[in-house]
Chains A and B, each alone.
Chain A
């Protein structure tokens, strides 16, 4: 029982981290119908910028804020200069652009910060608990609190603010939304910026959680998150979050109990194909 609970707690934490990365992708897909693989590059850059600021100031808050701003800018640039001009082409064209973007940014990170794995020695000011023999470390607490906070904030923005309403309206019918006075260009850019800012937090969190930041840290998330947004229902943000957490827990339990040495990415895609066969629109997908 204790083992099971430990596994669950850990699985949820992993799922929460997945969710933070997948969120931005789901947001972007929902609004532009683009598979934004380069999102993983934004996440990597977030970790690097966060680490750089942290090394200079030793303030994790400043580091997070700086990384968010920087990544929001990066997301904006990618949207404006890569995706926007390619929107009228079939989806594989922006996808290749996106992959090229991912590679280029990864390489830039390596050139700027060196090929070595850098450690992210930040201590997050979160307590650790021991409940009934189960240890919940401070990093785990941090992952829970921060991801819950980010998710709540995002939920608040999308459901309770005018901006969120405009984002949702734009993703459902861009033309009609603009005929209601919504500047859809700006909303698209803002969506990218929000998604990218969240990716920055995810990057920093992962960096601290595993205590490593390196150029190719986005390689696995880049494609795995694609499977996750499909499982969740393309474009559905709550679906993506649900899928991420389910996958985190599922992976952990499978590995913990079945002892299958399958790489996790393949597991995600197997889950995706299973879901597609059973429910082609995804777990929470709207359009079938």
Chain B
């Protein structure tokens, strides 16, 4: 396996983790968030600062990183309690822009120079790079997926589903909208924080522009394309959107156009996602099974 494909694979795994986090918020709890990259960035910056300026190791910094992102997620999840859908959508975009400009213009965060010299992750005395980093990311992705899976099987998860489907009905079943929306926000943003921490130690150099709104759109597209609310959807979405640009690579000049056009076509003709209800994949699958759908 070449370093090139390892790099692509690692980035896909990291983005899949972040997409899983967004899926918890959007897919499981039904709350719109268009600024997820902000939390990806918060995680990356937190880990970068803790391991460079703070002198911690990746492993001792990680719980703090998750705590910080989860806490900020909780704080920024508060608007979801009182804002209507469209307002919430735009507010989350705004949060993304604001967080990025804080990174960019506050000297504490390295300003426009970003943060460099982020140490490698050390595991069992071994500096993690190349294949091991891919395996580590895949491991974290597996843990993330496991948590997602456990979450969907927990009462909290069920409560979130109920909220997503019908908030009024859910609250009349004893589900507190405040509590579980915020639970989803904390969980989802902590996952983004995990992805961010991995990203920082993989790239070993981060700057604010990595976490701008286009990244949020990319992550949301992964979730929507893969199939919102499904366990594997975000992973599939990350795979498709991670590999497509590489497939188009030889077409240099036309690559981004084709990518955008494909995204448009996919959302136009499979708005429910590749693994969602009534998707081509599901239909084919059920046809193959031959059973009634």
Contacts and interface: CB of A to CB of B under 8 A. Distances in A.
Interface in B235-293: 253-254, 256-257, 259-261, 263-264, 267-268, 271-272
A270 interface: yes
B268 A280 contact: no
B150 interface: no
A265 B213 CA distance: 12
Given A89-B271, A92-B34, A107 B220 contact: no
Given A91-B86, A92-B89, A280-B82, A269 B264 contact: no
A108 B257 CA distance: 7
Contacts of A262: 101, 105
A99 B215 CA distance: 12
Contacts of A263: 97, 101, 104-105
Nearest to B257: A107
B93 interface: yes
B85 A276 contact: no
A86 B269 CA distance: 9
Give the secondary structure class of B's interface. Answer: helix
Contacts of A61: none
A95 B89 contact: yes
Interface in A254-273: 261-263, 265-266, 269-270, 272-273
A138 B262 CA distance: 44
B32 interface: yes
Interface in A95-115: 95-97, 99-101, 103-104, 106-108, 111
B65 interface: no
A99 B216 CA distance: 11
A262 B103 CA distance: 11
A93 interface: yes
B213 A223 contact: yes
A104 B260 contact: yes
Contacts of B91: 230, 272-273, 276
B83 A276 contact: yes
Interface string A98-135: 01110110111001000000000000000000000000
B98 interface: yes
Interface string B108-137: 000000000000000000000000000000
B58 to A, nearest CB: 30
B217 interface: yes
A227 interface: yes
B224 A93 contact: yes
Interface string B28-60: 000010100000000000000000000000000
Given A90-B32, A103-B259, 17 more contacts: A29-B86, A86-B267, A86-B271, A92-B26, A92-B32, A92-B224, A96-B220, A96-B221, A101-B260, A223-B97, A227-B94, A266-B97, A266-B98, A269-B95, A269-B98, A272-B91, A272-B94
21 contacts: A33-B86, A35-B86, A35-B89, A35-B90, A82-B264, A86-B267, A89-B272, A90-B32, A93-B224, A96-B221, A99-B217, A103-B259, A107-B260, A111-B254, A223-B213, A226-B93, A269-B93, A269-B94, A273-B95, A276-B83, A276-B87
Interface of A: 29, 33, 35, 81-82, 85-86, 89-93, 95-97, 99-101, 103-104, 106-108, 111, 223, 226-227, 230, 234, 261-263, 265-266, 269-270, 272-273, 276, 280
Interface of B: 26, 32, 34, 79, 82-83, 85-87, 89-91, 93-95, 97-98, 100-101, 104-105, 213, 217, 220-221, 224, 253-254, 256-257, 259-261, 263-264, 267-268, 271-272
